[in-house]
Amino acid sequence: MTNTEQLRETALAFRALHVPGRPLVLPNAWDTAGARIVEEAGAAAVATTSAGLAWDLGTADGDRLDRESALTAVARIAAAVRVPVSADIESGYAPDARGVGDTVRAVLAAGAVGVNIEDALHTEGAGPLRPVGEQAERIAAARAAADAAGVPLFVNARIDTYLRGAGGVEETLERAAAFLAAGADGVFVPGAVDPVTVKALVEGVEGPLNILVGPGAPSVGELAALGVARVSAGSSIAQAAHALVRRAARELLDTGTYGTLTDGLDYAGLNALMSRAR
């Protein structure tokens, strides 16, 4: 089987995991150890978190990480696990639609079969969101690049209306319709967790809906009952892990004790997991 054929089969398997009412649950990872732990825990796929990845590579989130660094890390993660991998590529690691197509080709070369592409703008002085038409062009370029490669890449259009305070259900549905028409396969709306809002989005989006979860959000079961097809932890696991680092460091430096480390993973078990052949 060629690499393209293998990627195609993996991409089709990943697509099939998006079932409204029986959501794909993604505890997002940012390194190979985390990816293997997520896989071992039973996840059907591994998704990266752009924030966790950026922090791990020594930079801030928000379109500050370069394409090569990001996708080198994605390639390591994809090579470490047996399940499908979806890459959070922020706004595409490119200034224009053509560059987004180049990024998608690099994503496929890295072994990932899904991408998140966000519509937030992080340029100083710019509006909170990219204009609908411009973002649709970027999604269309991602779709065209994947189609030309013969891989049914799952393109998840992230809409940041709620995260950036740039609109509600109506504005989100308008963007969702445009992005799906441009070639997106699903819609990701971080920041929307109120059940009434989530239900309205499920009913109004003509594709699988992805919701971001964390402390205070409805449970996976509650979101499933609303018809959600994908549930992501985003950067929350990375944030919790880094909070543990800070607590442990402060305890060790301030009191000279080690109670924070009590529930650490077993060295031999973790070492064995990382010694495992893919």
Distance CA(204)–CA(198), nearest Å, equals: 10
Distance CA(98)–CA(138), nearest Å, equals: 8
Determine the pLDDT at residue 127: 84
User: Mapped to the 3 state alphabet, what secondary structure does the chain carry?
Assistant: CCHHHHHHHHHHHHHHCCCCCCCEEECCECCHHHHHHHHHCCCCCEEECHHHHHHHCCCCCCCCCCHHHHHHHHHHHHHHCCCCEEEECCCCCCCCHHHHHHHHHHHHHHCCCEEEEECECCCCCCCCECCHHHHHHHHHHHHHHHHHHCCCCEEEEECCCCCCCCCCHHHHHHHHHHHHHHCCCEEECCCCCCHHHHHHHHHHCCCCEEEECCCCCCCHHHHHHHCCCEEECCCHHHHHHHHHHHHHHHHHHHCCCCHHHCCCCCHHHHHHHHHCCC
> pLDDT tens digits, residue range 185-207?
999 999 999 999 999 999 999 99
Determine the pLDDT at residue 71: 98
> pLDDT tens digits, residue range 38-69?
999 999 999 999 999 999 999 999 999 999 99
Structural domains of the chain ordered from first start? 3-234 (3.20.20.60)
Determine the pLDDT at residue 88: 98
Predicted confidence band of residue 15 (pLDDT cuts 50, 70, 90): very high
Predicted confidence band of residue 1 (pLDDT cuts 50, 70, 90): confident
Whether this model's pTM surpasses 0.85: yes
> pLDDT tens digits, residue range 102-143?
999 999 999 999 999 999 999 877 789 999 999 999 999 999
pLDDT for 278 beyond 90 = no
Rg (CA), the chain: 19
